[in-house]
Amino acid sequence: MKYYHPSATPPSFGRRKYMDKVLLIVITTLFPVYLSGQVVTGISANIASTGYEGIDYGAGLNLSAGYAFGDHLDLEIQAHRYWLRGPFSNINSLSLHARYSPFTGNYLKPYIEFGSGIARLTDDSIFDGQTLGIYYDLWLFKPKLGMTIPSGFHPNIFADIGLFFQRYNFRDVDNRFNWYGITGGLKWEISHN
């Protein structure tokens, strides 16, 4: 009869470890079937306007990275930066977006996109030689209608244009404001074939 030290691995653990490996292999072989697609990244410039007191309009940049699940669905993380005209200086945000393209033609690819995330509205004005540093934390919701068109530079680079509506809700104050704007930029689909 064999005796095992209390710190030794029980004999049944080896069989369980083997089954875990088999299960892991089965799961990873199924993923390429369901997760076929490519990495998507992009950059765009935005111009937006609002009727909110203190914010007339702003211009900004948007950086995105995500994954395309086939031809119809993209999931992206987007980082936005708007420089504002008015007493507030800027809005920074980070959001998660789902983009659905119902039609996948060779030239035009219209889509509808919904995004949600967090943002910060800041005022970095200088008053009496001191920076104010006032900020408000916000929730954001952003639907967008857009279209991608081949850029002509490279088969995997597309021009991306769209119209968006962005609602910002203050987290600490019962108030909100809306952005309306246009966006244009480049989208790069990185194939892993």
Domain boundaries, the chain: 37-190
| pLDDT (0 to 100) of residue 106 | 67
Amino acid at 177: F
| pLDDT (0 to 100) of residue 33 | 43
Rounded CA Rg of the chain? 24
| pLDDT (0 to 100) of residue 133 | 72
| pLDDT (0 to 100) of residue 45 | 82
Assigned token pair, 39? 């990495």
Distance CA 17, CA 135 (A): 52
Report, as ranges of residue numbers, the positions in the chain whose pLDDT lies below 70. 1-19, 23-37, 51-54, 87, 105-106, 124-127, 129, 131-132, 191-193
Under 8 Å CB-to-CB from 162, ≥6 apart: which residues? Answer: 113, 144, 145, 146, 147, 182, 183, 184
Distance CA 7, CA 10 (A): 9
Q: Domain 37-190 carries which CATH code?
A: 2.40.160.20
| pLDDT (0 to 100) of residue 122 | 85
Which residue in this structure is represented by tokens 């081949």?
A: 150
| pLDDT (0 to 100) of residue 70 | 78
User: Closest by alpha carbon to 59, among 38, 80, 33, 32?
Assistant: 80
| pLDDT (0 to 100) of residue 135 | 83
| pLDDT (0 to 100) of residue 174 | 82
| pLDDT (0 to 100) of residue 99 | 93
| pLDDT (0 to 100) of residue 126 | 65
